[in-house]
Structures are given as C-alpha cells and as structure tokens.
Amino acid sequence: MTSQNDTTICIAHVYRGSFVHSTRSAAVEILQDTVLGVDRAGKIAFIGDGSDLDRLSQKWGFKPSDVKQLGQCEFFMPGMVDTHIHASQYSYSGTALDLPLLQWLNTYTFPVEARFKDLSFAMDVYTRVVKRTLKNGTTTACYFATIHTDASLLLGQIADKFGQRALVGKVCMDHNNYNYKETQMESVEETKRFIQELLKKEYPHVRPVVTPRFAVSCSSDLLSALGEIARNNDLHIQSHISETKEEVEVVKELFPDHKSYTDVYKKHHLLTNKTVMAHGCYLTDEELKVFRETGAAISHCPNSNTSLCSGILNTRKVLQNEVKLGLGTDVAGGYSPSMLDAIRRALDSSKVLTIQDPNFQTLTFQEAFRLATLGGSEALGLDEQIGNFEVGKDFDALRVNLCVPDGPVDVFPGDFYLSLCVLHRGIPTGDDRNIVEVYVAGRRVVPLPEK
C-alpha cells in the first residue's frame, strides 16, 4: 500500500477498532472506532476516525479491504515497559524469597549469576525470559545481565532475534561478601568491551546500559569510571537505590563523606536524564529534589518490595515531586515476569499506605496503567519514540482480546462497548492469554515463531 499524496511514506498496515493509551494530559484515553496506519518503518503514520475511512484511504493510498478490523472484545494498548528486570535471575523466580535483601543476594543470587560464564546455561535462561516477557506484553525491557561480558552480549542477541526492544547491562561490581565479582580494572575494561561489541552489532532496538549493581558492591573508583564511560558514550545508566533500610545504613558506612545515598551517585556522575534507579523506598524529599533536577527516574518494583519485605514506595510523593516514574517486575526479587502483575501490585502497595493513613491519596488504576506504558518510556528516556499512540512514534502495541476462549476474564453483554469500567476490570483480571498479538516497531513478535 503506497501513499498517493506522499511517495516517501508507504503504509504497511491499517487497523480499525478501539485503542487505549495515556497522554501527558490524560492518564487513560479510550479511542473508539479509530483507524491507525503503520508505515513500512514501523511508525504510526496517521490516526483518524473510523467514519473517515474513505477519505483516509484516498489520502494514504490503501484499500478499505486492506484494513484489519479488531473484534468486538478486542482493543490495542501500548506495549508495556519493564524498567527493571534481572534476566539472569529468571531461573529461580518464585523461589528463595525467605531472606532479607543483602542475605538473599549472597545466599541465592550471586551463586546463580556466577553460572552465566557457561554460555549454554545463559542461552537457555535468556531465551526463556525474553520469550516469556514478550508473551506477557513487555515490548521494552531494561535488563540486568551478569558480570560476564560474552553472556551479556548473548542476551542482546536473543532480544534482537525475538524482536524485543531492550536495554542490556553488563553488571559491574568489584566487592561483596561472595567471590562473584571482578577487580575494578576488569570491570571497567569489560564494560568498555561490552559496549563496543554490542554497538558494533547495530541491532535496531537493543542498546547497552551502564550498570553498577549498587553502591554497596562498587568502589568509589569503579563508580567514577562508570560515570565517565556513560558520559563519554551518551549511554543510559541503571542501578538500585534505597531498597531497604539496612542497605541505606551500609551505604552511609561505606561513603561517610556523602550526604545521602543519592549524593553518592550524583557525585560519581551517575544521575542523568538517562538514569533509572530501582526501588527508592526510603528516599527523602531532598533526594527526590535531586532526582527531579538531574532528570533521573525511579523504577517502582512493588512485587519485589513486598516479597523481600524491603519496603513500600510512596508513589504519590514521587509523582508530586515531579520525578519520572515507571514500573518494574524486578525478577527474581519479584516472582512474576508480568507487567500486568506490576500494575496490580502497584495498586495494592498504594492501598496499604492508605490503610496506614486514610488521608493518603491512593494510586488510581488509570495512573498505574500510565506508569506501565508512557511512564515507563519516560523513565527510560524513550518517550519520543514509544509509550503511546502518537503519529511519528514506533508502533509498539498489544492486541488484547477479553473474549479469548478459556480465558480468565468473563465478559458480559454490556462489556462489548469498551469503557473505562471494562478496561479497569479486564486488565487487572487478565493475563498473557488475553494478549493475542504483540508488535514492536510494527513487527509482529507474538505469537512467537515455532522454531
């Protein structure tokens, strides 16, 4: 299908039906009977009313018979953005959640991550986690890998193969209580090699992210070197901050000359508008102000926060401080790889704060939906490219069917007209069975290829 009025734009696909997304002014916007065109580059070329189909077809050079009509119980929503997930921990998700964070890392996490020097083991785990998250509607994932450069490169290769948009980080750490670590020099040199090799692949949707594990496991020299690498290469940065009270106290002991946990990262040039920090349960108002001023974002990981008894993030305070905020599954501290679960747990966590303080303003479903989509794209600095259905953005989308056979959602006659009420009921009770198609930059990536 070729446009008649602009030969530089070729329309590849046209869809008609209901679309749900977030905008900067509306947490949820429902577009009924809408026509959306995707060009051959995978970008949204136009959006219009269904009643205007004939004019749109003449303008953009497609036939009305080429339009893909959504079913009565179907709608498109933006692909979900997981702003924090440990791909290397997927093999034991749902188990080993019986210890506080720092003991949990030494007892379970570090021994498992040490196994990723075996590339066959890495291939198996990374293939499974990419496929599973895609099936659950994660079109963009910000991954922690391990300290192993070659295995981390393999994760990037697998994400590209299956079409997932991904930020992949080789983990950096030069001291802890377990022998899973590098020297400071090894970490720096291998990070440079990882970045160089991954960029050399020129994958269209996979990029490196500089990844100090957290201040507890990194020396000051290593943090400084990583900040310089990120700045020199204009790269994203990811790490953890203020996940538990114990962790905050350890950081005070390790960095006594710094005002706060946030100050440690800031002084090492690791807080930028391309930084996302997981958790942030115990950040002060002063620290949130630094996040806002630097443009750094927070990844809210509610499943992990409660599973490891770490704490509860006050999302309302974060939003009121105008800090960028997205959601993360934090596998395997979080036991579910599903961003739908992250939406549900975010709402639950907010309600716990309301139980404790009846004056607390509970997070709404609409706000949680936004955090999983547009909010996540903002947190990763990708909101000019993905996050909602705007002309010029990549078509990262989920085709949702509430009436899928043997699905988890019961649909009643009044539900055939998509409304906020139906959406509110369908998404919290739905699962991967309701996500019948997944698109990344216009390419259909789910259903997964059989081979």
DSSP string, 74-116: EEEEEPEEEEEEEGGGGGGTTS---S-HHHHIIIIIHHHHGGG
Query: Which pLDDT band, with edges at 50, 70 and 90, does 1 fall under?
Result: very low
Cβ-proximal residues to 297 (8 Å cutoff; 6+ apart), any chain: 83, 275, 276, 277, 291, 323, 324, 325, 326, 378, 379, 380, 381
Helices marked H in 240-364 — which ranges?
Answer: 245-254, 261-267, 285-294, 302-307, 315-320, 339-356
Query: Which pLDDT band, with edges at 50, 70 and 90, does 360 fall under?
Result: very high
Q: State the pLDDT at residue 166.
A: 99
CA–CA gap between residue 423 and residue 420 (Å, rounded)? 5
CA–CA gap between residue 273 and residue 291 (Å, rounded)? 9
Residue type, 325: L
Task: Write down all domains in the chain, each with its CATH number in brackets.
Answer: 11-78+388-446 (2.30.40.10), 80-380 (3.20.20.140)
Q: Which range, of 71-75, 141-145, 247-251, 322-326, averages the lowest pLDDT?
A: 71-75
pLDDT tens track for 96-129: 888 889 899 989 999 999 999 999 999 999 999 9
Statement: residue 442 has pLDDT above 60: yes
Cβ(360)–Cβ(354) under 8 Å? yes
Statement: residue 164 has pLDDT above 80: yes
Residue type, 255: F
Q: State the pLDDT at residue 41.
A: 97
Copy the structure tokens of residue 408.
């988890």
Copy the structure tokens of residue 421.
């009420």
pTM of model > 0.95: yes
Q: Could you count the other beta carbons within 10 Å of the beta carbon of residue 182? A: 19
Query: Euclidean distance between the first and final Cα of the chain, in Å?
Result: 30
pLDDT tens track for 307-321: 999 999 999 999 999
pLDDT tens track for 42-51: 999 999 999 9
Angle at 325 between CA 319 and CA 331, to 5 degrees: 135
Q: Which range, of 63-67, 286-290, 408-412, averages the lowest pLDDT?
A: 408-412
CA–CA gap between residue 321 and residue 121 (Å, rounded)? 43
Copy the structure tokens of residue 443.
């390419």
Cβ-proximal residues to 195 (8 Å cutoff; 6+ apart), any chain: 208, 210, 229, 233, 235
Q: State the pLDDT at residue 8.
A: 67
